[in-house]
Amino acid sequence: DAGVIQSPRHEVTEMGQEVTLRCKPISGHDYLFWYRQTMMRGLELLIYFNNNVPIDDSGMPEDRFSAKMPNASFSTLKIQPSEPRDSAVYFCASSLFSFYEQYFGPGTRLTVT
Amino acid sequence: ELKVEQNPLFLSMQEGKNYTIYCNYSTTSDRLYWYRQDPGKSLESLFVLLSNGAVKQEGRLMASLDTKARLSTLHITAAVHDLSATYFCASLHSGAGSYQLTFGKGTKLSVIP
């Protein structure tokens, strides 16, 4: 298996633009997680899905952030409109069982200027 | 608010020496995780500790959990340069039908020849 795949790996955008991050989990994994990592706030769990259904989005910082999982092999995290404080590395992870061993993707480094 | 505190945050140690990283958490934890992150890379799951007294070992790393003391430790035996990385612990707390996963700030380990 190729592991968790994220795209793009790097994204540079201007403030106010819409940004879409993509994730393909490991096949057969029922849980998908989105995380954000910054120097100031560390690692934060934003949202997680079980069988494509969002279970808890309490970590999503603002209404500007939204996440979807239209099928078992694809998820998106969208920021609209983006702001400089959204600059971070965004990780997607998947797991076979709820909050057991998680496999992380390589991350997307987002820079909002 | 669930808090997870790691110490030390920075650790420089000589090859061949032993050391312990500590992870304290503020409320009852359902699971305790340890992750490794190399500079500019993603996170790698090291251990998932489920119950009081749990001990897991992989190579030169051993993790343990004391739920009564709300403490987990990551012990490094006879350190080698390849262990240089940042190590994160994270505590999982369940309540109100969902989970809250909180990370420590990380311990940056440098192993010096």
CB contact under 8 A, B48 and A58: no
| Residue numbers in A near B58 (CB within 8 A) | none
Tell me whether residues B98 and A91 touch, CB distance under 8 A: no
Among A42, A58, A101, the residue with its CB nearest the CB of B45 is A101
DSSP conformation class of B83: G
pLDDT digits 0-9 by tens, B87-113: 999 999 987 778 889 999 999 999 998
From edge to edge, which strands make up the β-sheet containing A5-7? A5-7, A19-24, A74-79, A65-71
Q: Which pLDDT tens digit goes with each residue over A59-70?
A: 998 899 999 999
| Cα distance between residue B63 and residue B17, in whole Å | 17
Task: Please determine, for residue B55, whether its predicted confidence score (pLDDT) is greater than 90.
Answer: yes
How many beta-carbon contacts under 8 Å exist across A and B? 39
Examine the pLDDT at A1 and tell me if it is beyond 70. Answer: no
At B51 the pLDDT is 84
* Cα dihedral value B68, B26, A41, B62, nearest 10: -10
Confidence band, pLDDT 50/70/90 cuts, at residue B67: very high
- Share above pLDDT 90 across residues of chain B, in percent, rounded to a whole number: 82
pLDDT of A89 strictly over 90: yes
Mutate to test the interface with A, among B30, B32, B43 (most CBs of A within 10 A): B43
- Mean pLDDT for chain B? 94
Q: What is the pLDDT of residue A99?
A: 86
Mean pLDDT of B54-72: 95
| CA atoms within 13 Å, Cβ hemisphere of A93 | 27
Number of Cβ within 10 Å of residue A51's Cβ equals 10
Q: What tokens were used for B102?
A: 């909180």
On the question of pLDDT at B72 being above 90, the answer is yes
Of B48, B92, B103, the CB nearest to A42: B103
- Identify the pLDDT of residue B39: 94
CA distance B91 to chain A (A): 11
Cβ neighbourhood burial of A30 (10 Å; 0-12, 13-18, 19+): middle
A11 has which bridge partners?
A110
Of A45, A103, A104, the CB nearest to B101: A45
CA distance A95 to chain B (A): 11
Is 90 exceeded by the pLDDT of residue B20?
A: yes
Percentage of residues in chain A with pLDDT exceeding 90? 91
CA–CA gap between residue B35 and residue B47 (Å, rounded): 7
Residue B53: both structure tokens together = 């007294």
pLDDT at B30: 86
* Chain A residues within 8 Å of chain B (Cβ atoms): 42-45, 48, 55-56, 58, 91, 93, 98-107
Which one of A93-102, B13-22, B88-97 scores highest in mean pLDDT? Answer: B13-22
Please provide the average confidence, as pLDDT, over all residues in chain A.
96
Instruction: Write the pLDDT tens digit of every residue in A31-41.
Output: 999 999 999 99
How far does the CA of residue B74 sit from the closest CA of chain A (Å)?
17
Best mutation target among B5, B34, B42 (most A Cβ atoms within 10 Å) is B42
A4-26 pLDDT per residue, tens: 999 999 999 999 999 999 999 99
CA–CA separation, A20 and A98 (whole Å): 26
